[in-house]
Chains A and B, each alone.
Chain A
Amino acid sequence: MADAKITFEQVLHVAKLARLTLSDEEARQMQEQLDAILGYMEGLDELDVSDVPPTFHSIPMDAPMRPDVPERCSDRSEILEQAPESQSGGFAVPLVLEVE
């Protein structure tokens, strides 16, 4: 991870991936802070873990099957009440496709 430190361009790229807009000033500050954090994380380089399996779940658990039984869920109108915009029983979003 010797080349881990993050560049200004990388910050902008990651912001795009994360669907965040950052002003130049915010991006510069972000770069500085992430650089310090990633620099600290280089400490992990002292460990050779190539033969160590990853732990994605701390407690071993399996995903048991359950019967697929239809159930009542929340009321649609109650859910749509929380939407910034709704229309005809659905969430309203900005136009995605032009329709002729």
Chain B
Amino acid sequence: MTTFLSAAHLTVAFGTRTIIRDLSFEVHTGDCLAIIGPNGSGKTVLLKALLHLLPCEGEIRWDPAARLGYVPQKFAADQQLPLHVRDLLDAKMNVLKLPATEVNSVSVEAGITKELLDTNIGFLSGGQFQKVLIAFALLGHPNVLLIDEPTASLDELAEERFYELLHELQVNRGMTILLVSHDLSVVYRYATKVLCLSKGKTCFGAPREILTPEELEAVYSAPPKYYEHTHDHQKE
């Protein structure tokens, strides 16, 4: 297995507040790395640092052939912008000088209908907006996706579909995935590696090693009731 991303002694601080301290981990090609941890533990900050959106100390080394796709946490886009979904996707297509057919193919993949393509971005529901962010990330044939809490605004069916798509991308295309998630049952099902961030303790390893009651209690500083939930799923 080849190393796709290696982070060594990563430290991210805002002024005097250190969010991530001396973090090291590696991701191999085709891995699905789940990043978990309580609120404020620096999961989003870590993704942004890996994307070079935030200044940080230490070393981040991506595979030279890495093409990054980023699906950010749901954000409030300016509703006044006169941009249709298609305008947005066309803009990225033009900047990256991609062939015009790409927009249609990523739209189909992300489940964006023709009608949705001609909708203003200010009028989208949470789930529709999520689809647009995924299509946007998929433009340009990324071989790694960095995804930040993707299912926060999705209903159960949409969530299920979303993870099926991720799984499909990972298995069929060998895409590497870095996923911030609160849903430990999902992490258990799809992740090949887990990185948990916590103020007291950071751990990194295979899901079976990390997602034990003892480890989770140490990370979340509370008895892990989500873990019980995971067990229910396994029994079903």
Q: Do the two chains bind?
A: no
* Residues on B facing A (Cβ under 8 Å): none
